[in-house]
Amino acid sequence: MNDESTRPEPQPPRAAPKVVRRRNWLPSLIWLIPIVAAMVGVALVARILMDRGPEIVLTFKSAEGLEANKTVVRYKDVQIGTVTHIRLATDRSHVRVLVQLKKEASAFTAQDTRFWVVRPRLDTSGISGLGTLLSGAYIGVDAGTSEETSGEFTGLETPPIVTRDDSGRQFLLRARDVGSLDIGSPVYFRRIKVGQVAAYELDPDGHGVTLRVFINSPYEKFVGVNTRFWHASGFDIDLNASGLKIRTQSLVTVLIGGIAFQAPDDQNGPVAGENTAFVLASDETTAMKEPDGPSQTMLLYFNQSLRGLSPGAPVDFRGVVIGEVKSIGVEFDRGERAFRMPVVIQVYPDRMRRRSATDPDARISSFQRWQLLVSKGMRAQLRTGNLLTGQVYVAMDFFNDAKPAKLEPNQVPLELPTQPNRLDELQSQVADIARKLNQVPFEEIGADLRKSLASLDKTLNSTEQLARRLNNDVTPEMAAALKDVRQTLRSAEKTIADDAPLQQDLRQTLQEVTRAAGSLRVLTDYLERHPESLIRGKPEDKQK
């Protein structure tokens, strides 16, 4: 094959490409993508800014359970905001939590809005926040009603017992101390839980506490102006002549305390208004009793030991408690140069009787009334209330043998006369007897007694010798004499026997005497009829 036949034919030269310059005013299509993305971003940012609500700052003692951009704010389980930042305060005393609220949550910036951290808790109201074990802690909200707004709030360390959307009514209770009650302690009506303790605080003067209780709707209508509240904590034990009685509201009150209320005889009266104040009694018996009326402080002086008597001990009038002991002490009387034991008591005179408008004694003064009672023998006396514990109480009673006494009208507090205790009098008498016994010369008596016993021993020895001599000498003669006596008695027995000759002769003699007595009686009767026969003789004899 020829090499020239396989060689390709030469091509004509190509023309140079013509370069055409694009117009500068037409943009490239590739730039549309970032432009569209930028516009979408701007739109999203604008939408976020438009939907974004206010920012608020919450302060807590600790940030336990809180995380930025994760912890949410919920109201009735609806998310209304998110925690964005958590910072420590400059003085390190608390943490500042920045919360971004949603636009529809703008109303939660009211000044009285409350915030708290919801986490698992165990308190008197029960177990709460168990759902946060899986989902994590969140911030709860109680919406405020104030027209003023704020951007910074102090968070609550514990969830509030009562929120503003709860239906019910609050009442105030005055008490000497809070006892075993706590926030969340239940309130019972006829053993049904109808509310709880919302808050408590110490009174400004420090003499008591004020508790705020919340009664749920519709039970607030059972709280009237005549309602009585009392501590239902623990057991109420009553030991009387009927036996032992134990009362309690529920097992919860035994553990965490509680309050119960009811009106005497179920006469509630008009419904009590919001924040009406009541007195919180220590127990049901104290709450249900009649009002005590005004109290009166009185002074007692005792000349005996006050062991067993303590402040708070009852003042008793024939089984009725009319007051209590406030204080006891000791003082030196320079005039008598002796110690006296002052006891201050607080009594309620109206407990001794119920006054009425028509009572004539209602017009006399308190001093005149006590003076009248003292003039009739009323005295104060210490008595033992419990033999096991040795507790002592003050008894007011009338004593017929009490010495006359008068009260000082200008003395404050009024001093009442006292009466020694019977036991103390017995102890004094025993002491006097002991002193007299100590004066008896027991040693001299013992010496004389020993001498007397020695003489008696000698006498007994002599008596023994005499008895031995009598046994040896006199006994045989006495035996012979007794033998002669027995023989004499046998002879006498034979003489007085029924078949003895003497007895037969005696009977014959008696018969003859009887006949002679009959003849004598006939003669006597004849002479009584014919006394002349003593001189003239019988007429029959003359005729012969």
Residue 105 has pLDDT above 50, yes or no: yes
Task: Give me the mean pLDDT over the 85-90 stretch.
Answer: 91
At 294 the pLDDT is 82
At 391 the pLDDT is 84
At 57 the pLDDT is 93
Residue 70's contacts (CB-CB under 8 Å, 6 or more residues apart) are 83, 136
Q: Are 296 and 315 in contact (CB under 8 A)?
A: no
Among 341-345, 358-362, 459-463, 533-537, the range of highest mean pLDDT: 341-345
Residue 182 has pLDDT above 50, yes or no: yes
What distance in Å separates the CA atoms of residue 539 and residue 544, rounded to the nearest whole number? 9
Local structure of 14: helix, strand or coil: coil
At 348 the pLDDT is 86
At 223 the pLDDT is 93
What distance in Å separates the CA atoms of residue 416 and residue 395, rounded to the nearest whole number? 12
Closest CA to 379 of 431, 301, 483, 327: 301
Lowest mean pLDDT among 31-45, 261-275, 489-503: 489-503
Residue 334 has pLDDT above 90, yes or no: no
C-alpha radius of gyration, the chain, whole number:
60
- 41-46 LR contacts (CB < 8 Å, sep 24+): none
pLDDT tens figures, 124-161? 555 655 666 677 889 999 888 888 888 899 998 888 87
At 141 the pLDDT is 92
Task: Give me the mean pLDDT over the 163-192 stretch.
Answer: 87
What distance in Å separates the CA atoms of residue 283 and residue 249, rounded to the nearest whole number? 12
The rounded percent of the chain whose pLDDT value lies above 70 is 79
- Please report which confidence band the pLDDT of residue 179 belongs to, taking 50, 70 and 90 as the band edges: confident
Lowest mean pLDDT among 420-434, 459-473, 516-530: 420-434
- Is 0.85 surpassed by the pTM of this model? no
- Please report which confidence band the pLDDT of residue 392 belongs to, taking 50, 70 and 90 as the band edges: confident
Residue 35 has pLDDT above 70, yes or no: yes
CA 519 to chain centroid, in Å, comes to 110
What distance in Å separates the CA atoms of residue 406 and residue 298, rounded to the nearest whole number? 15
Q: Are 82 and 136 in contact (CB under 8 A)?
A: no
What distance in Å separates the CA atoms of residue 20 and residue 384, rounded to the nearest whole number? 129
Lowest mean pLDDT among 9-18, 293-302, 435-444, 513-522: 9-18
| 198 vs 495: which has the higher pLDDT | 198
Task: Give me the mean pLDDT over the 178-191 stretch.
Answer: 86
pLDDT tens figures, 201-226? 999 988 899 999 999 999 999 999 99
Averaged pLDDT of the chain? 80
pLDDT tens figures, 401-452? 888 888 888 888 888 898 887 666 566 666 677 777 777 777 888 788 888 8
What distance in Å separates the CA atoms of residue 358 and residue 450, rounded to the nearest whole number? 80
Closest CA to 217 of 259, 167, 261: 167
- Please report which confidence band the pLDDT of residue 8 belongs to, taking 50, 70 and 90 as the band edges: low
Q: How far is the first Cα of the chain from the last one, in angstroms, to the nearest whole number? A: 259
Residue 235 has pLDDT above 60, yes or no: no
At 357 the pLDDT is 46
Amino acid identity, residue 240? N
At 1 the pLDDT is 46
At 293 the pLDDT is 75
What distance in Å separates the CA atoms of residue 53 and residue 48, rounded to the nearest whole number? 10
Enclosing H/E stretch for 71: none
Helices and strands in the chain: count of H runs, count of E runs: 11, 26
Q: Are 378 and 371 in contact (CB under 8 A)?
A: no
What distance in Å separates the CA atoms of residue 148 and residue 348, rounded to the nearest whole number? 52
The rounded percent of the chain whose pLDDT value lies above 90 is 17
- Please report which confidence band the pLDDT of residue 60 belongs to, taking 50, 70 and 90 as the band edges: very high
**How big is the chain, counted in residues?**
544
Structure tokens at 318: 């024939």
Task: Give me the mean pLDDT over the 277-294 stretch.
Answer: 83
